A and B are shown apart, each in its own frame.
Chain A
Amino acid sequence: MVKFLFILAGFTLGIGLGITPGIIKPKPIWWRITFILIMSLVVFFSLHPPIAGTFKDAAIAGRANPDALVPVHIAPTKGGTFDTQAKLWNVQVNDVQNVTETRNTVQLLCTENLYNEAGSFQQDLVVYVKRFDNDITFSVESVGIKNPMFTLPFIMGLEERARIMFFHVPAAWIAFIAYVVSMIYGIRYLRHPLPEYDILSSSAAMSGTVFCILATVTGAVWAKFNWGKFWNWDPRQTSIFVLLLVYGAYFALRSAIENPVKRARLSSVYSVLGCIAALFFIYILPRLYDGLHPGSKDSGNAGPVLSTASDSLDTTKQIILSLAYAGFTILFYWIMSLSARTRLAFSKQHSHP
């Protein structure tokens, strides 16, 4: 439930600010500064917090692959003891996640250099550990960020690549919102055939297609390093490809008709059909078949973004994602506004030479 409130808050802020003071009105300086600030926060918080898991993550990853290096966030300790025979520092660390059901402390083995670099483990820090023989002993391989503001969870198999969620997912959602906006102005044109509604409808479709291409390209680059190939013909990849063809046909249709009234009327009808196709291709079809994307039929749930399970998405990630929804929505409205106002200025200049 909280998850949906965060999503709602992100889009309310995005749409609210996006349509202020009016899509075809000049954007005041406070508006531009607010947007740039929101988007800067999105970029900063998407990439700044280190990824850090628990010793449980390190134990599980180590069992699967003995060489697995896992970042773990540890609280300050009272320091360690030096084992003169092994020439290693031995540090007892409290593990809030309980690696085993019976013990809540783990033992870290650390070289002299790393022990000093970690400030004798008397500060909050992220360390990269490797499972050592059993689930409660780990060797420290390197020292990461000290005193992190906050951390993002470690997800086995995704690790740093999990950050794509803050750019790729909002881009795909905003593409859909753009197609809905295009449909709304398409319907408004059909009810009251004013040229500015046609300009707004096609500007929204153009901006939506930009975000759709961004979602496709970012997904393909990510897929190469997570799934092995740029393009896997996963149901969601196939459906977004078809969606790009649908809107490619929309722009082909617009450029093929010279009569502006006929062009506006036909493309308004097309924008309604295109939006229904987008709904089907983004939200319905990829969930009906087995696939690589989270939320596919074989995933067993709706994926981290929409699943109602409380542990499906970390709260910190949810907040950053909602901020990204807001930032990307405002960005879409600004691009759409610039495009529509340029075309309106151009048409005004030609009608009043």
Chain B
Amino acid sequence: METFLTHNALYVVLVVTMITWAGIAITLNRIEQRLQKVEKKIER
């Protein structure tokens, strides 16, 4: 794996971008969950 990534720089970019996207997706999902809790609280 390490040798493959050393010889194929583009896949390093792919891994970095996928990690960044995973971080953004997790953050968006958490904001959505928290907002849903707040909305339920206000509805009550």
What is the interface of chain A, defined by CB distance below 8 A to chain B? 26-27, 32, 36, 39-40, 43-44, 47-48, 50, 144-145, 160, 334, 338, 341-342, 345, 348-349, 352
Partner of B17, one of A47, A342, A352: A47
Q: List the 8 closest pairs (A to B, CB-CB), nearest first.
A: A47-B14, A26-B36, A36-B25, A43-B21, A348-B42, A345-B38, A43-B17, A345-B42
**Is the pair B32, A338 in contact by a Cβ cutoff of 8 Å?**
yes
Partner of B18, one of A43, A160, A338: A43
Q: Identify the closest chain A residue to B22 (Cβ).
A: A40
A194 to chain B, nearest CB (A): 18
**Is the pair A48, B14 in contact by a Cβ cutoff of 8 Å?**
yes
Within 8 Å CB of A44, what residues of B?
Answer: 14, 18
Cα distance A342–B21 when bound, in Å? 23
**Is the pair A47, B13 in contact by a Cβ cutoff of 8 Å?**
yes
**Is the pair B35, A145 in contact by a Cβ cutoff of 8 Å?**
no
**Is the pair B21, A40 in contact by a Cβ cutoff of 8 Å?**
yes
Partner of B39, one of A144, A345, A352: A345
Within 8 Å CB of B38, what residues of A?
Answer: 345
Q: List 23 A-B contacts (CB under 8 A).
A: A26-B35, A26-B39, A27-B32, A32-B32, A36-B25, A36-B29, A39-B21, A39-B25, A40-B21, A43-B18, A47-B14, A48-B14, A50-B10, A145-B8, A334-B28, A338-B28, A338-B31, A338-B35, A342-B35, A345-B35, A348-B42, A349-B42, A352-B42
- The verdict on A26 contacting B32 (CB below 8 Å), with A40-B18, A47-B14, A47-B17 known, is yes
| Other A-B pairs, 19, CB within 8 Å; known A26-B32, A48-B11, A341-B35 | A26-B35, A32-B28, A39-B21, A39-B25, A40-B25, A43-B21, A44-B18, A47-B13, A47-B14, A50-B10, A145-B8, A160-B10, A334-B32, A338-B31, A338-B32, A345-B35, A345-B39, A345-B42, A348-B42
Contact with A along B3-39 (1 / 0, CB 8 A): 0000010110110011001000100110110011011
Cα distance A40–B20 when bound, in Å? 11
Cα distance A144–B18 when bound, in Å? 22
**Is the pair B42, A32 in contact by a Cβ cutoff of 8 Å?**
no
Within 8 Å CB of B11, what residues of A?
Answer: 48
Within 8 Å CB of A26, what residues of B?
Answer: 32, 35-36, 39
Cα distance A26–B34 when bound, in Å? 11
Cα distance A348–B38 when bound, in Å? 11
Cα distance A342–B18 when bound, in Å? 28
Cα distance A39–B29 when bound, in Å? 14
B36 to chain A, nearest CB (A): 5
Which of A47, A160, A334, A342 has the largest number of chain B CB atoms within 10 A? Answer: A47
B19 to chain A, nearest CB (A): 10
B35 to chain A, nearest CB (A): 6
Within 8 Å CB of A50, what residues of B?
Answer: 10
Within 8 Å CB of A338, what residues of B?
Answer: 28, 31-32, 35
Cα distance A289–B32 when bound, in Å? 44
Partner of A47, one of B10, B31, B36: B10
A275 to chain B, nearest CB (A): 26
A49 to chain B, nearest CB (A): 10
Q: Identify the closest chain B residue to A40 (Cβ).
A: B21
Q: Identify the closest chain A residue to B36 (Cβ).
A: A26
B37 to chain A, nearest CB (A): 10
B10 to chain A, nearest CB (A): 7
B23 to chain A, nearest CB (A): 12
Cα distance A39–B18 when bound, in Å? 10
Q: Identify the closest chain B residue to A49 (Cβ).
A: B10
